[in-house]
Amino acid sequence: IRVSSKHLMLASSYFKRSLGGALTEGHTLRSEGHVKIKMDGLELDAMLLVMNMIHGRFRQLPSSVDLRTLTSIAILTDYLQCHEVVEPF
Q: For residue range 17-28, what is the model confidence (pLDDT) as tens digits?
A: 989 887 888 888
- What is the value of pTM for the model shown? 0.86
Q: What is the pLDDT, as a whole number, of residue 65?
A: 95
Do residues 88 and 41 touch, judged by C-beta distance below 8 A? no
Alpha carbons 33 and 61: distance in angstroms, whole number = 28
Distance CA 66, CA 70 (A): 6
Concatenated DSSP letters for 18-62?
Answer: HHHSSSHHHHHHHHHS------TTS-HHHHHHHHHHHTT-GGGS-
Q: How much is the pLDDT for 22?
A: 78
DSSP state of 4: -
Write down the pLDDT at residue 77.
97
Domain at 5-86, CATH from 3.40.50.2300, 3.30.710.10, 3.40.50.2000, 3.20.20.70: 3.30.710.10
Q: What mean pLDDT is predicted for residues 12-38?
A: 89
Computed over every residue of the chain, the mean pLDDT equals 92
